[in-house]
Amino acid sequence: MVIVDVVDLRVVGVVGLQVVVAVAVLAVVVAAAVEERAAVAAAVRVVAAVVAVVGGGSNVVVKPHRHEGVFVAEGKEHLLVTKNLVPGESVYGEKRISVENSNAAPSTDENPAVAKVEYRVWNPFRSKLAAGVLGGLDNIHIKPGAKVLYLGAASGTSVSHVADIVGPEGIVYAVEFSHRSGRDLINMAKKRTNVIPIIEDARHPAKYRMLVGTVDVIFADVAQPDQARIVAYNAEYFLKNGGAVVISIKASCIDSTAQPEAVFAEEVNKLKKSSFRPREQLTLEPYERDHAMLVAEYRRVCGTWKD
Ligand SMILES: C[S@@+](CC[C@H](N)C(=O)[O-])C[C@H]1O[C@@H](n2cnc3c(N)ncnc32)[C@H](O)[C@@H]1O
């Protein structure tokens, strides 16, 4: 199915924009119905672009999501957003939404009031964590001030949103072994100074132990057959007792011949044997096919759980 992907929004009037939104929303519904994921993504991008252009703050209200540090921009569509740590800049071409800051303290010479706050649209088709949030995870453990170890950082698109969420008081240690992706990751971290890029193999945490402190949560998206072992090994080094792991599991990366549900169950079993207690599990449909997100709590009690 082919739908309009690129629209020059500058030459479309407001009425035209409404039509574009309506068509794009319809396209989302139709594409979803026939399971055309690329078409769904394209239509969502059009909706996001329209909101960014017409929103400009006046037509869009940004409200806190129930996950601290995550927000929802309510305009013609509801979009997941994070507060941009580096206002004025996108990281990977994502749309930005600027709104009046109604909570601004009175302006003084020392503390000039910030009149506008800028948010970045967080696309669930490009970030498994965003997909997990929209899918209804109860607790992502990633919140303002949190220390996060992110395994499988790629070029840093999702990491940049995690950096927005944890904010200046938090820190994101971002591990990626591909030097090519690592270049973009390092560039992103030049401005987001709460991100420490680490270009290493996550199978060898000893190699980066000097760079990483104790963390509150490990987020893992390495898409490797031995991901559970990688997570357990990193937890032994860096995760605080009572900390959490949030793991994206791509069934085909672990066993392409088994049913996804059987693969997810087996991954849960592996974690149970490594001092983790599973807390939540959900699939990432409709954003990712045959993926699950698992949240588990970590207790160093000689490898077994005692309630
Ligand atoms: C599915 S992608 C991650 C996407 C990313 N989390 C995002 O949402 O943008 C998996 C990434 O993990 C990296 N990776 C795989 N195995 C790794 C390992 N052992 N150590 C470090 N990075 C690894 C890959 O190079 C790839 O960039």
What string of H, E and C letters represents the secondary structure of the chain? CCCCCCCCHHHCCHHHHHHHHHHHHHHHHHHHHCCCHHHHHHHHHHHHHHHHHHHCCCCCEEEECCCCCEEEEECCCEEEEEECCCCCCCCCCCCEEEEECCCCCCCCCCCCCCCEEEEEECCCCCCHHHHHHHHCCCCCCCCCCCEEEEECCCCCHHHHHHHHHHCCCCEEEEECCCHHHHHHHHHHHHHCCCEEEECCCCCCHHHHCCCCCCEEEEEECCCCCCHHHHHHHHHHHHEEEEEEEEEEEEHHHHCCCCCHHHHHHHHHHHHHCCCEEEEEEEECCCCCCCEEEEEEEECCCCCCCCC
Distance from the CA of 3 to the center of ligand 1, in angstroms?
Answer: 31
Q: Is the pTM of this model over 0.95?
A: no
Distance from the CA of 223 to the center of ligand 1, in angstroms?
Answer: 7
Assess whether the C-beta atom of 222 lies below 6 angstroms from ligand 1. yes
At 217-275, the pLDDT tens digits run: 999 999 999 999 999 999 999 999 999 999 999 999 999 999 999 999 999 999 999 89
Whether 16 has a pLDDT exceeding 70, the answer reads no
Q: What is the pLDDT of residue 88?
A: 96
Domain 128-298, CATH homologous superfamily name and number: Vaccinia Virus protein VP39 (3.40.50.150)
Whether 14 has a pLDDT exceeding 50, the answer reads no
Whether 55 has a pLDDT exceeding 80, the answer reads no
Distance from the CA of 160 to the center of ligand 1, in angstroms?
Answer: 15
Q: What is the pLDDT of residue 101?
A: 76
How would residue 28 be classed by pLDDT, with cut points 50, 70 and 90?
A: low
Report the atom number in ligand 1 closest to the C-alpha of 203: 19
Q: Looking at per-residue confidence, does 205 or 32 come out higher?
A: 205
Q: What is the pLDDT of residue 115?
A: 73
Among 150, 184, 219, 222, say which to mutate for ligand 1: greatest number of ligand atoms within 8 Å of CB: 222
Q: Domain 61-121: give its CATH code.
A: 3.30.200.20
Assess whether the C-beta atom of 154 lies below 6 angstroms from ligand 1. yes
